[in-house]
Chain A
Amino acid sequence: MNAIKKKSINYLVLGFFILTLSSFGAINAFSNDSTAHAAEIHATDSVSPAHSEEVHAPAAEHTEKEGIDAGKLIMEHIGDAHDWHMATIGHTHVTLPLPIIIKDAAGFHIFSSSKFHHGHDAYNGYKLEHGKIVAVNEDGSINESASFFDLSITKNVAAMLISVFVLIWMMLSVASSYKKGKGAAPKGFANLIEMGILFIRDEVAKPSIGPKYMKFMPYLLTIFFFIFLNNLFGLVPFFPGGANVTGNIAVTLVLALFTFVITSINGNKSYWGHIFMPPGVPKALWILLVPIEIIGMLNKPIVLMIRLFANITAGHIIMLGFFSLIFIFGAMSEGLGLGVSVMSVAFTTFMNFLELLVAFLQAYVFTLLSALYFGSAVEEHAHHDEHH
């Protein structure tokens, strides 16, 4: 009993630790003097060649003080990158170079992103241009015609891999605890996870899908915990969090595609019948209705994709916006920046709590909508005419 209590307290403390750290992380960033702020901003700007020379020159800081591009800063934070910028201490960037994998006509090229030197150098015929890999000619000019695939392990891929390892480790340890205590009540962490599992099963899968829910449970549980965990990781402002995985449209696209493919594979006669042969309407109207139904069918995954992407990205943008306010005002006057920082930290803390809710809510909504789509795909329409 005591051990359980202790364990649950540990989790609580861990949660608060992460929360407070996320707000303290913000405070720490602002408590430095304004020159350090400037350096921070430059660091994120460093990928752009126009500013790159100034970044490493100490004298440039003062000239840059006014030129804070909050939009650019935010976009770079929520976007993808080929290296993982963790912190800037003085003028040293603490970054984790990530592997670059390029497939072109000559085959695969695999090398570290540190070879690019933050966009300063070309390597192997490629160069970082505004954070994107471009092919360059011998003389350094950009080769627009070259075709290649950039399959690099980017920041988002790396963050996703970390979260996935955590997810698998978590769930396997929970599964093993079930094997150990067969038939016993779950304790500690397994209890917490079981709450989520039962929530998905009883509140999402059963009412949305009906009697065939068991078939979709593994997928629903996987997307729920995958999205939820990545949302939470996104809220942690430093390594291994901070990446905007579930706020990346490629990630949500793949998730939505999975839902779409599973829905289509499991679609029964009546599901497809409703799309290609809408019942209860004259055949002449099919010309009109079938395209609408097809658009509706394709619309579902698109909406799923955009909802998750927009919600998570918006949260990140709002929080980063509050931070940027400090720098913008700090650039005007140091005192104003400090004053604004109080308000910013308060708002960001509030937003963090809100984002915790959103992290759960969006995972839930994605899972619920997927379940509803599966439900419509496997539903048996015994009473056709009553519906129309």
Chain B
Amino acid sequence: MELVKPGLGLIVWMTITFLIVLFILSKFAWKPILAAIKEREDSINNALNSAEDARKQMDALKADNEKLLNQARAERELMLKEAGEMKDNIIAQAKRSADEEGRKIITKANEAIESAKLNAMNELKTQVAVLSVDLAEKVLRKKMEDRSQQEAFVNENLKSITLN
């Protein structure tokens, strides 16, 4: 059958043509096209990977921020608590010291009053003594104005004195 008998001419031309086509297409078409496709795929993959990395970094950053924020919140809470306690302490201490101070002042005042009273009393005693001596002197002076009386008094006193 003619149909299944390969013609020699066609085989020869087909071989030559196909070799040329294979060579030209391999060198000038497939190589640059495949390289370009590969390059583009690589760049897309890189872009995707870097986007993924960026997303991961972003997530990490976000988590970090969250942690920091929580920490800050806890710290603020603590600080507020501490400040409250400190305030209470200060107020209590101030109260205590004020009481003490008051008490001290009162004591001091009492002491001052006491000593002033004592002084006044002493002064009064001296004054009374001086006045009484003066008065006594004046009384005596009045009583011993005449000589007779003076001699009578001395005599009387001399009698009471026993000479040994």
Contact = CB atoms under 8 A, between A and B. Distances in A.
Given A79-B2, A151-B12, A172-B29, A258 B18 contact: yes
A254 interface: yes
Interface in A177-193: 178-179, 182-183, 185, 193
Interface stretch (B36-44, B72-80, B114-122): B36-44
Range of interface residues on chain A? 35 or more
Given A75-B2, A194-B37, A222 B13 contact: no
Contacts of B22: 218-219, 222, 258
B123 to A, nearest CB: 117
Nearest to A173: B29
Contacts of B31: 218
A250 B4 CA distance: 8
Interface residues of B, number: 34
Interface string A194-210: 10011001000000000
Interface in A139-154: 149-154
Given A150-B7, A222-B30, A249-B4, A254 B25 contact: no
A175 B4 CA distance: 37
A253 interface: yes
Contacts of A271: none
Interface centre among A149, A160, A222 (most CB of B within 10 A): A222
A179 B31 CA distance: 11
Contact of A250 (B14, B25, B26): B14
A222 B21 contact: yes
A331 interface: no
A101 B18 contact: no
Given A149-B8, A154-B9, A164 B28 contact: no
Interface of A: 75, 78-80, 101, 149-154, 156-157, 160-161, 164, 167-168, 171-172, 174-175, 178-179, 182-183, 185, 193-194, 197-198, 201, 214, 217-219, 221-222, 225-226, 248-251, 253-255, 258, 309, 313
8 contacts: A171-B33, A174-B29, A218-B26, A248-B7, A249-B3, A250-B10, A254-B15, A255-B18
Interface of B: 2-15, 17-18, 20-22, 24-26, 28-34, 36-37, 39-40, 43
Given A150-B8, A183-B39, 11 more contacts: A80-B7, A151-B12, A168-B29, A171-B33, A222-B30, A248-B10, A249-B3, A249-B5, A250-B11, A254-B15, A258-B18
